[in-house]
Amino acid sequence: MTVLLVFGLFIVIVTAHNITFLDVPQYGDPRRDVELTCHYVSEPGDPALHSVKWYRDTNEIFRYTPGQQTRTFNTSAGGATRGSCNLQSCAITVTLPRRYNALVSFTCEVSTEGPRFAVVNQTKFLTVAVTMKEDPLVTGLAGSVQLNEDILLNCSTAPAMPPPTLMWYIDGIPEKTEPWMNDNTEMSPADEFGLRASWRPIRFRVTTAKGVITARCEATQPTRPPYSRATNATIMIARSPHLSMFTASDSGGRRAGVLLVVCMSVHIFSKYSALRSV
Ligand SMILES: *[C@@H]1O[C@H](CO)[C@@H](O)[C@H](O)[C@H]1NC(C)=O
Ligand SMILES: *[C@@H]1O[C@H](CO)[C@@H](O)[C@H](O)[C@H]1NC(C)=O
Ligand SMILES: *[C@@H]1O[C@H](CO)[C@@H](O)[C@H](O)[C@H]1NC(C)=O
Ligand SMILES: *[C@@H]1O[C@H](CO)[C@@H](O)[C@H](O)[C@H]1NC(C)=O
Ligand SMILES: *[C@@H]1O[C@H](CO)[C@@H](O)[C@H](O)[C@H]1NC(C)=O
């Protein structure tokens, strides 16, 4: 009885190829073709590979049958433009629709020869978006910084789509936004691909007694999942005793010679951060 059961299980496992890895990027730039790869293995004793099919949503876009010509379907409407497949993997190139934030599903389906014609498939989703390639840029850090002085910083991001929303945190506290300003992020007009640059200035007065202020700019694209990158800037505040010493010896009476050290540390989120789940 036990022997029979184990034997039955063994049959089920060996008759299917197994998809080991489906490589579909999380975000796809519609300005260029995207490569997708399906990796699969067969166990010793498996029947031969019958075919590999790719689907975009529920439409078949590509078919590979060993020993036959590969076929592409629906090439005009965001299908596969070309493919390169063998008995271990099948890579295709697809064009994406310019519908930003659209979620497109890609399925790889692998079937084996008879008698059972076992079929396995795996699906992954891609979000059409041009994500930020760099961290936000913080400018305005040059100049002297001392107690009771106003600082104007500007945070900006290169053109992306959907455009990121920017948030400032001064010493970890989010910038106060008034109810009538629903969003302080400013955006450039769309370029020829629909991309927009974002920026957000902040003005604040140095009131802290500490010697240092951290200003953090967080840029988040409202994609599914959201894509975030951030930059931390550390501002050193010149100490008053030094300041009076320098200003006293400065004949021009200007604030020349104020000891100022400004350093910036850039925090790279090399990976997207999923702030909320899909
Ligand atoms: C496919 O491979 C995965 C990971 O190696 C394994 O967990 C799974 O049981 C395999 N499935 C089949 C049907 O062999
Ligand atoms: C091509 O795609 C359209 C929708 O994008 C779909 O209606 C049609 O059935 C597809 N054709 C094939 C052959 O899958
Ligand atoms: C993938 O397989 C499941 C069953 O395992 C099936 O319901 C689904 O329709 C398949 N998807 C595609 C796109 O063939
Ligand atoms: C902030 O940067 C943006 C983009 O470079 C620029 O258009 C804007 O004028 C700047 N704003 C301030 C207050 O510096
Ligand atoms: C940037 O600041 C945030 C919060 O203020 C902190 O969690 C993070 O570790 C900082 N990153 C770096 C590289 O200092």
Residue with tokens 């910038």: 175
205 burial level (CB within 10 Å; 0-12, 13-18, 19+): exposed
- Does the beta carbon of 18 lie inside 6 Å of ligand 1? yes
Averaged pLDDT, 23-35: 95
Long-range contacts of 254-259 (CB under 8 A, 24+ apart): 255/144, 255/146, 258/144, 258/146
Distance 122 CA to ligand 3 centre (A): 8
Among residues 81, 95, 110, the alpha carbon closest in space to that of 21 is found at: 110
Q: How many helices (H) and strands (E) does the chain have?
A: 2, 19
Question: pLDDT at position 80, please?
Answer: 83
Alpha carbon of 26 to those of 35, 74, 101, 253: distances in Å?
12, 22, 11, 57
- In this structure, the residues whose C-beta lies within 6 A of any atom of ligand 3 are 55, 107, 109, 121
The pair of structure tokens assigned to 100 is 């930003």
Task: State which ligand 1 atom lies nearest to the alpha carbon of 16.
Answer: 13
H-state helical runs in 127-272: 240-249
How far is Cα 258 from Cα 260, in angstroms, rounded to an integer? 6
124 three-class SS: strand
Contact 19, 38 (CB under 8 A): yes
Specify the DSSP class assigned to residue 239.
P
- Does the beta carbon of 156 lie inside 6 Å of ligand 4? yes
Averaged pLDDT, 101-117: 91
Of residues 102 and 211, more confidence is placed in: 102
How far is Cα 250 from Cα 227, in angstroms, rounded to an integer? 49
The bound ligand whose nearest atom lies closest to the alpha carbon of 72 is: 2
Ligand 4 pocket mutation, candidates 150, 156, 200, 203, criterion most atoms within 8 A of CB: 156
- Does the beta carbon of 172 lie inside 6 Å of ligand 5? yes
Ligand 2 pocket mutation, candidates 59, 94, 104, criterion most atoms within 8 A of CB: 59
Of residues 64 and 141, more confidence is placed in: 64
Beta bridge partners of 169: 174, 216
Q: CA dihedral defined by 251, 253, 257, 262, rounded to 10 degrees?
A: -170
How far is Cα 114 from Cα 103, in angstroms, rounded to an integer? 35
Contact 108, 4 (CB under 8 A): no
Question: pLDDT at position 210, please?
Answer: 78
Distance 105 CA to ligand 2 centre (A): 14
Ligand 1 pocket mutation, candidates 18, 40, 46, 116, criterion most atoms within 8 A of CB: 18
Q: What are 59-92's pLDDT values in tens digits?
A: 999 999 999 988 998 776 677 888 999 999 999 9
- The pTM of the full predicted model, rounded to 2 decimals, is 0.75
Distance 262 CA to ligand 5 centre (A): 16
Distance 154 CA to ligand 4 centre (A): 6
Alpha carbon of 28 to those of 97, 101, 102: distances in Å?
10, 10, 10
Give the lowest-confidence range in 28-32, 36-40, 108-112, 245-249.
Answer: 245-249
